[in-house]
Amino acid sequence: MKSLILFLILLTLWLLMSGHYSILIISLGIFSCAFCVYVAKRGKLIDDEGLPIFFIPRLLNYLIWLFKEILKSNLSTAKVIINGKVEPETFTVKASQVTDVAKVTYANSITLTPGTVTTKMQKDVFEVHALNSDFGNDVRTNEMDNKVTWLEGKK
């Protein structure tokens, strides 16, 4: 089932990228996509981590929220850089997600918003470096943590 979804995604990518639609080229594409899926299956890459399907229903909502967040923190990072008031701080937060994929998503979301970077991970404790105490407070209120847990939808 999952390999079929992967095959369809790869084939869509091929069709979008090539732009030439003749029988020969499309059949070559189908062949190479099938080969890729076969290799991925042999390497046991197709599992919950490679293709996290349980994210999909709530993904759009989360992405819109994430973009808003990124815009806001971009603005404040720009202000900090122009003002030159840098007071970096390092602290640890606890992640409340169950699966590894969701934890990685949380850590990546922290890193993706400029101003906060995950520097180390140990099981479910993240060490976060923030540019300013405002950014630090943003992470420490656990808003993003709750959002990712909601995105995961396992609880």
Binding interface with another protein (CB under 8 A): 16-17, 19-20, 22, 67, 70-71, 74, 77-78, 81-82, 84, 86-92, 107-109, 111-122, 125, 127, 129, 131, 136
Nearer to another protein, 42 or 155 (CB): 42
Least Å distance between CB 90 and another protein? Answer: 5
Least Å distance between CB 34 and another protein? Answer: 22
Nearer to another protein, 79 or 154 (CB): 79
Nearer to another protein, 120 or 155 (CB): 120
Least Å distance between CB 56 and another protein? Answer: 15
Q: Confirm if 107 and 119 have CB atoms less than 8 A apart.
A: no
Least Å distance between CB 23 and another protein? Answer: 12
Least Å distance between CB 42 and another protein? Answer: 17
Nearer to another protein, 37 or 135 (CB): 135
Pairing assessment for the beta strands 89-94 and 125-130 based on DSSP bridges: antiparallel
